[in-house]
Amino acid sequence: MNANCKIADEITTVKQTGKTCDLVQSNPIKVLSRTSTKFVCHITYNCFINNSYSLAVFHNDSIVSKFKVKPVSRDKDKTIVEVTCENITDNAGRKWAFVFGSKGGYDQTIKNQTFVITLEPLPLKNLLSFDGALNDDLTSATIFVPGCEQVTEATSFLTFHCSNDDNGNRFLSDKCTFMCPVTSDSVYNMTLVRLPIPIYDGIESSNQTFPVDQRVQTIRIGKMETF
């Protein structure tokens, strides 16, 4: 990211029309597609935008490393801009906030606006096999889920069940571990659950969620073998 490219002042007036260039009131942003590292959206403004080359996507006050901006429709009263952001890392299943606005050094053509888009979480099947160790008390085991933080925010959306009879909803720790009561030489079907994740589509949460996902793994306590 280019830390030297700061966001321009908050509001400008479009010279061609004499109006403040702002978002349209109804449905100003529409997310067309998203993955765990990329999204494409349309943002609609109530004016004619001529110098789209001066617009950029900012994250943490700097221009993001890889983005595209192009007008897909424009007339004197409305411009629809297509924004593509790629190579967003470490944010799968999380809300990603960005500012769409004008680059420093250019006459500003739009009012800077913060948007929030939830990126797609990764499926639990992508994770490696659970690992675990019998604790010193010999009555509990600590289970490690490698790479759980790559799926989504573990402490908010990943829960576990220690066996088929376990109906609790306890969250993983921030170290991707959970603890289960066990007896030696026993077999347990341990379940990892990704809860529904609210989907943000630009300005506020929609009524949609990413669906529940779950993964069951059989673990034999004692040798800590998985199969």
- The 10s digit of each residue's pLDDT in 154-167 is 999 999 999 988 88
- The Cα 96–Cα 121 span in angstroms is 12
pLDDT over 70, % of the chain: 86
Strand partners, 186: 221
Check whether 16 has a pLDDT greater than 70: no
pLDDT digits (tens, 9 = 90+) for 59-72: 998 999 899 999 99
Query: Beta strands of 130-212 (E only): which ranges?
Result: 131-134, 140-144, 158-161, 170-171, 177-181, 186-194, 197-202, 205-210
The region of weakest confidence among 88-102, 125-139, 151-165 is: 125-139
pLDDT at 225: 53
Q: What is the mean pLDDT of residues 165-193?
A: 91
Q: Which CATH architecture has domain 29-118?
A: Sandwich (2.60)
DSSP 8-state code for residue 29: E
In 3D space, the residue among 53, 65, 54, 49 whose CA is nearest the CA of residue 98 turns out to be 65
Domain boundaries, the chain: 29-118, 124-226
CB atoms within 10 A of CB 23: 19
User: Torsions phi, psi of 91, nearest 5?
Assistant: -135, 20
Structure tokens at 227: 């199969």
In 3D space, the residue among 164, 169, 162 whose CA is nearest the CA of residue 132 turns out to be 162
What rounded mean pLDDT belongs to the chain? 85
Q: In terms of pLDDT, which residue wins out, 223 or 184?
A: 184
Q: Indicate the pLDDT class of residue 15, thresholds 50, 70 and 90.
A: very low
Does 29-118 match 124-226 in CATH topology?
yes
CATH number of 124-226: 2.60.40
- The Cα 155–Cα 142 span in angstroms is 16
pLDDT at 133: 84
This prediction has a pTM of 0.83
Check whether 30 has a pLDDT greater than 80: yes
